[in-house]
């Protein structure tokens, strides 16, 4: 035993005693109160809860103490002398009646749902299951799971935030960059090698300077909550790289912390805030890492399976799965809802994050009658004085019946808009008949979002995200190439709407490479010049590839890590120019545009123009082969913006009368332009052009 362990143990070599005069049921989790720690755990169906104290390594259980009191299903007790750094877990007693939904097994050490920091990783072993592997789930396993479990750690919440305050970048000025903590930093040549893959790297000068260069206002991180690397992946030599398998909703994923301490997260957020960059988290409250009834018992299942999870109403032995992962968190339960809300508030108030993207958000709105846009979770968010003011983004679908709900959420939620992705990819692939759809996407998708007093920033516009092809792969592969995932290329979807432009994958053909660059720049311009909120996948700003893998969830390696040394300047410079233009021009506004006869005060006026000159007519919209048109926008301040898109061959376009300033031309060597034009202009194939009049630098 090390001297450090002996030193930590001196204060608790004898079993500590609870002080019933101080104990509090209203503070869930382990809360250090200055001279001791209050422990509280919710379990409505338990008969006894034991607190287990471990040495600092988490390997030796020192004491097992029964929580002395219970109110309203909350078991609690205050232990004097227990300080930050103390490692702990729970054993929960109750009925083992799987057919009634109860799976209590005190042989299984359980992670505190409110744990702020974890010690150790899951070591996969059959003892982690509440039933005996090899028998059905009605059996009962008596082996101790503690040696194989991560444990919770009592933390000290003190941190000097200096003058850090929420940035609150308006939605109409926001540009989102979706990134993975490790993938973004693991191969960055200007990040110290020892820091790569961690929050220390995320807050490095090199990463921040890049984000500032391309105009990022909001960094959206793939899950950083502690998550499990699923057993079947580990046994195949893979891992749950994306992190959509939550183990704890309060603790950060330990491998992302160089020191293992949560202060690293705070330090990175503080540095990003000083650079004017918000941080929002992709959160997974729809399911957990425990899987279905045949899965492992790590936390919620052993604490109170019937409360924390949705179970089949016909047979509570089985989980009710709307997520495709085996289980569904029962957010409609008031104490589970409280846990979710407490987690969100913790990350805003204690960790200073600026918002959240909710994975499979439709699951969070599932009530007894199916998806409810006014369900308890959404209503709780809307009335919360802390959470209603941060950035909230829904992934508006799940796999359950009625789960696809794009446009179905209320303010203040914004939504990932996969219709934008699909229509934009298909349009630039030169699919016929897509002008009406592209007009919708350029104007903020009003059919989906212009209702219920929702603003024109409700649509989060993207052409690639972590799930699917990268943007470069969208123009480089006709088919997915997921062989490295070990599922014979059966995983991942086939709806890629991609086009390899003449060669499958990497090529040395200069003509194909040039065509790919041109189409990528056009698609990025479509994202950046459309109404709504633009989102770019990390690496798409410089042509990153995953070698055709459109489901790289298990690839913690060079397939997923960004290859900074292969950055394509032609793409990077275009993103920089587009971001600068978007920043200076009132492109995205809070109100949807309208036709001249329908426009109200403070509402932009939209004209749709044909290449021959003048307005698009009814028959023009039905011309399946027409691939060139323009949006002429007149903002309330008088600024006129013309966004011209041409997915077809070289063409000519008759501009509206008068002199215009060309500001963006994605077909040019230098995307950013500044020249006066009038009359008819030549429009290159696969090109986006933007013109200004009566606006910034338009004269």
Q: Please state which of the ranges 161-175, 215-229, 477-491, 536-550 shows the lowest mean pLDDT.
A: 161-175
Residue 549 in this model has a pLDDT that exceeds 70: yes
- What is the per-residue pLDDT for 3? 29
Q: How far is CA 58 from CA 8, 47, 228, 262, in A?
A: 12, 26, 18, 18
Query: Of the candidates 79, 43, 38, 45, which has an alpha carbon nearest to the alpha carbon of residue 62?
Result: 79
- What is the per-residue pLDDT for 10? 36
User: What is the Cα–Cα distance from 65 to 85, expressed in whole angstroms?
Assistant: 18
User: What is the Cα–Cα distance from 249 to 26, expressed in whole angstroms?
Assistant: 19
Percent of the chain with pLDDT over 70: 97
* Contacts for 34 with CB less than 8 Å, ≥ 6 apart: none
Question: What's the token pair of residue 124?
Answer: 């996969």
Please give the angle made by the CA atoms of 604, 608 and 614, to the nearest 5 degrees.
Answer: 120
Q: How far is CA 550 from CA 426, 494, 520, in A?
A: 17, 9, 17
For the segment 159-179, the average pLDDT, to the nearest whole number, is 92
Percent of the chain with pLDDT over 90: 87
Strand partners, 372: none
Residue 476 in this model has a pLDDT that exceeds 50: yes
pLDDT band at 398 (very low <50, low <70, confident <90, very high): confident
Please give the helix or strand (H or E) that residue 665 lies within, else none.
strand 660-665
User: What is the Cα–Cα distance from 177 to 282, expressed in whole angstroms?
Assistant: 12
User: What is the Cα–Cα distance from 424 to 621, expressed in whole angstroms?
Assistant: 17
Residues known to be catalytic = 359, 395
Strand partners, 117: 153
Question: What's the token pair of residue 661?
Answer: 């300033």
- What is the per-residue pLDDT for 451? 95
User: What is the Cα–Cα distance from 79 to 39, expressed in whole angstroms?
Assistant: 8
* Contacts for 297 with CB less than 8 Å, ≥ 6 apart: 103, 105, 108, 110, 128, 129, 130, 145, 290
- What is the per-residue pLDDT for 15? 81
The 10 Å Cβ neighbour count of residue 324 is: 12
Instruction: For residue 173, count CB atoms less than 10 angstroms from its CB and return exposed for 0-12, middle for 13-18, buried for 19 or more.
Output: middle
pLDDT band at 290 (very low <50, low <70, confident <90, very high): very high
Query: Of the candidates 488, 466, 568, which has an alpha carbon nearest to the alpha carbon of residue 520?
Result: 568
For the segment 567-581, the average pLDDT, to the nearest whole number, is 97
- What is the per-residue pLDDT for 227? 96
- What is the per-residue pLDDT for 612? 95
Q: Are 152 and 112 in contact (CB under 8 A)?
A: yes
Burial state string for 441-468 with b = 16 or more CB within 10 A and e = fewer than 16: bbbbbbebbbeeebbbbbbbbbbbbbbb
3-state secondary structure 86-138: CEEEEEEECCEEHHHCEECCCCCCECCCCCCEEECCCCCCHHHCCCCECECCC
Q: Are 176 and 138 in contact (CB under 8 A)?
A: no
Chain segment 499-510, per-residue pLDDT in tens: 999 999 999 999
pLDDT band at 594 (very low <50, low <70, confident <90, very high): confident
Instruction: For residue 24, count CB atoms less than 10 angstroms from its CB and return exposed for 0-12, middle for 13-18, buried for 19 or more.
Output: middle
Q: At what angle do helices 376-383 and 334-349 cross, to 10 degrees?
A: 40
Question: What's the token pair of residue 292?
Answer: 């279905």
Chain segment 200-231, per-residue pLDDT in tens: 999 999 999 999 999 999 999 999 999 999 99
User: What is the Cα–Cα distance from 516 to 476, expressed in whole angstroms?
Assistant: 7
pLDDT band at 483 (very low <50, low <70, confident <90, very high): very high
- What is the per-residue pLDDT for 490? 95
User: What is the Cα–Cα distance from 244 to 242, expressed in whole angstroms?
Assistant: 6
Indicate the length of the chain as a whole number.
699
Question: What's the token pair of residue 63?
Answer: 């004491």
Q: Positive or negative, the Cα torsion across 65, 71, 74, 80? A: negative
User: What is the Cα–Cα distance from 673 to 644, expressed in whole angstroms?
Assistant: 14
The 10 Å Cβ neighbour count of residue 548 is: 25
Q: If you compute the radius of gyration of the chain from its CA atoms, what whole number of angstroms results?
A: 27
Backbone angles phi, psi at 221, to 5 degrees: -95, 130
User: What is the Cα–Cα distance from 176 to 461, expressed in whole angstroms?
Assistant: 10
Peptide bond into 697 cis (omega under 30): no
- What is the per-residue pLDDT for 162? 85
Contacts 24+ apart (CB under 8 A), 500-504: 500/475, 500/476, 501/475, 501/476, 503/476, 504/476, 504/477, 504/478, 504/479, 504/548
What is the average pLDDT score of the chain? Answer: 94
User: What is the Cα–Cα distance from 637 to 601, expressed in whole angstroms?
Assistant: 11
The 8-class DSSP code of residue 499 comes to: -
More confident residue, 15 or 644: 644
- What is the per-residue pLDDT for 13? 67
Residue 2 in this model has a pLDDT that exceeds 80: no
pLDDT band at 12 (very low <50, low <70, confident <90, very high): low
- What is the per-residue pLDDT for 697? 55
User: What is the Cα–Cα distance from 185 to 188, expressed in whole angstroms?
Assistant: 5
Question: What's the token pair of residue 94?
Answer: 């109750």
For the segment 283-294, the average pLDDT, to the nearest whole number, is 95
Alpha helix locations (H) across 100-248?
A: 181-185, 199-202, 205-213, 231-234
């Amino acid at each position: 035993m090390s001297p450090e362990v002996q030193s930590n143990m001196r204060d608790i070599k004898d079993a500590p005693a609870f002080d019933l005069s101080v104990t509090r049921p209203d503070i869930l989790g382990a809360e250090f109160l200055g001279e001791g720690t209050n422990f509280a755990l919710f379990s409505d169906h338990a008969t006894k809860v034991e607190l287990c104290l471990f040495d600092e390594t988490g390997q030796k259980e020192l004491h097992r103490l029964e929580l002395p009191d219970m109110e309203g299903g909350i078991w609690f007790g205050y232990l004097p002398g227990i300080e930050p750094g103390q490692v702990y877990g729970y054993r929960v007693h109750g009925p083992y009646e799987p057919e009634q939904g109860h799976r209590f097994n005190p042989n299984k050490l359980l992670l505190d749902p409110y744990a702020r920091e974890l010690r150790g990783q899951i070591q996969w072993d059959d003892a982690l299951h509440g039933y005996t592997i090899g028998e059905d789930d009605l059996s009962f396993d008596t082996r101790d799971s503690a040696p194989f479990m991560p444990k919770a750690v009592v933390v000290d919440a003190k941190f000097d935030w200096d003058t850090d305050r929420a940035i609150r970048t308006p939605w109409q000025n926001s540009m989102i960059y979706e990134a993975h903590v490790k993938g973004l930093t693991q191969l960055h040549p200007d990040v110290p090698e020892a820091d790569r893959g961690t929050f220390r790297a995320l807050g490095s000068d090199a990463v921040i300077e890049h984000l500032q260069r391309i105009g990022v206002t909001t960094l959206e991180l793939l899950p950083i909550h502690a998550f499990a690397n699923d057993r079947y992946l580990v046994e195949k030599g893979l891992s749950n790289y994306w992190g959509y398998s939550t183990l704890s909703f309060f603790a950060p994923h330990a491998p992302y912390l160089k020191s293992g301490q949560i202060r690293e997260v705070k330090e990175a957020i503080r540095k990003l805030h000083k650079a004017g960059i918000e941080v929002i988290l992709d959160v997974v409250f729809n399911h957990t890492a425990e899987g279905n009834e045949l899965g492992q018992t790590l936390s919620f299942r052993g604490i109170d399976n019937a409360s924390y999870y949705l179970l089949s109403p016909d047979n509570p032995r089985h989980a009710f799965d709307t997520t495709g992962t085996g289980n569904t968190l029962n957010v409609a339960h008031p104490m589970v809802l409280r846990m979710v809300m407490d987690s969100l508030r913790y990350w805003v108030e204690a960790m200073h994050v600026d918002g959240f993207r909710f994975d499979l958000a439709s699951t969070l709105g599932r009530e007894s009658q199916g998806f409810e846009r006014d369900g308890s979770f959404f209503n709780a968010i809307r009335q919360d004085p802390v959470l209603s003011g941060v950035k909230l983004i829904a992934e508006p679908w799940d796999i359950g019946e009625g789960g696809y709900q794009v446009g179905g959420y209320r303010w203040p939620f914004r939504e990932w808009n996969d219709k934008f992705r699909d229509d934009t990819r298909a349009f630039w692939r030169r699919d016929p008949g897509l002008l009406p759809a592209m007009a919708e996407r350029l104007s903020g998708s009003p059919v989906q979002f212009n209702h219920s007093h929702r603003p024109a920033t409700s649509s989060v516009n993207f052409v690639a995200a972590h799930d699917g092809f990268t943007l470069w792969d969208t123009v480089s592969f006709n088919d997915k190439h997921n062989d490295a995932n070990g599922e014979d290329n059966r995983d991942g979807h086939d709806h890629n709407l991609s086009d390899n432009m003449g060669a499958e994958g990497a090529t040395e053909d200069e003509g194909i490479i040039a065509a790919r660059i041109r189409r990528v720049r056009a698609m990025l311009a479509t994202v950046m010049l459309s109404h709504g909120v633009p989102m770019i996948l990390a690496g798409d700003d410089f042509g990153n590839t995953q070698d055709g893998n459109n489901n790289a969830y298990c690839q913690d390696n060079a397939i997923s890590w960004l290859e900074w040394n292969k950055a394509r300047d032609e793409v990077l410079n275009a993103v920089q120019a587009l971001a600068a233009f978007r920043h200076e021009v009132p492109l995205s506004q809070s109100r949807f545009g309208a036709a001249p006869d329908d426009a109200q005060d403070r509402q932009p006026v939209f004209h749709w123009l044909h290449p021959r000159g003048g307005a698009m007519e009814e028959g023009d919209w039905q011309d399946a082969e027409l691939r060139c048109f323009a949006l002429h926008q007149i903002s309330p301040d008088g600024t006129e913006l013309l966004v011209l898109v041409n997915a077809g061959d070289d063409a000519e376009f008759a501009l509206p009368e008068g002199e215009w300033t060309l500001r963006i031309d994605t077909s040019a060597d230098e995307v950013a332009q500044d020249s006066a034009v009038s009359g008819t202009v030549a429009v290159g194939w696969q090109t986006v052009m933007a013109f200004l009049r009566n606006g910034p630098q338009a004269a």
